[in-house]
Amino acid sequence: MKKKFIGLLFTVLFMSTIAFGQSPTISNFEKSSNGYKVFLYQSVIRMLNKDQNPEFNKLIKDLDHLRLLSNESDALESITTFTSLDNGIKSEGFDLIMSYDNKERKCHVYELESNKGKSTWVITFLVDSRAGLMEMKGTLDLKYLSAISHVNFDKLEELIPMGAEDWN
């Protein structure tokens, strides 16, 4: 289940061309979060190319980094954190683009269009006792989007050190 959720978040990130400027909501959450703060820079992401497919490298050639920030707490506090992140992102003018909600897991994808024609995307998530967000800085060459199938999710799971018990 953990692998499926990480795969879902990673795939959602790769479905968009992104130029990311940090929002106050993200800055404040980064300072207060007590969970994971994982940065995956392009050089590390390139290592996730399980088949050494050249199209995967073309897909991420203009990508700077992916970042995962999370908070670990009891279920009620996690819901409060998730709601606070969503409200903060919305108050900054982001539009909800996609939503995955059920009683156990939630994932919202937001977009903010800039004056320069590039979009900023934020993904908020709630899973059990973990709430957080993902961001991506840089752009993707979407004509190589099919290369996402070459991501080594086992290696990605090793890079994001979350216990499987948290994602069941």
**CA–CA separation, 78 vs 125, rounded Å?**
10
Residue 159 is predicted with a pLDDT of 73
Residue 133 is predicted with a pLDDT of 92
**Cα 66–Cα 68–Cα 71 angle in degrees, nearest 5:** 170
Give 65-116 pLDDT, tens digit per residue.
Answer: 788 899 888 888 899 999 999 999 999 999 998 898 888 789 998 887 766 6
pLDDT band at 6 (very low <50, low <70, confident <90, very high): low
| pLDDT mean over 51-69 | 86
| pLDDT mean over 144-149 | 84
**CA–CA separation, 59 vs 42, rounded Å?**
11
**CA–CA separation, 147 vs 15, rounded Å?**
11
| pLDDT mean over 7-22 | 49
Residue 85 is predicted with a pLDDT of 96
Residue 168 is predicted with a pLDDT of 34
What is the residue extent of each domain of the chain?
2-166
| pLDDT mean over 46-56 | 90
Residue 128 is predicted with a pLDDT of 78
DSSP secondary structure letter of residue 103: S
Share of the chain above pLDDT 70, in %: 77
- For residue 161, CA distances in Å to 10, 93, 97, 99, 156 come to 15, 32, 28, 25, 9
Lowest average pLDDT, out of 15-19, 99-103, 127-131, 138-142, goes to 15-19
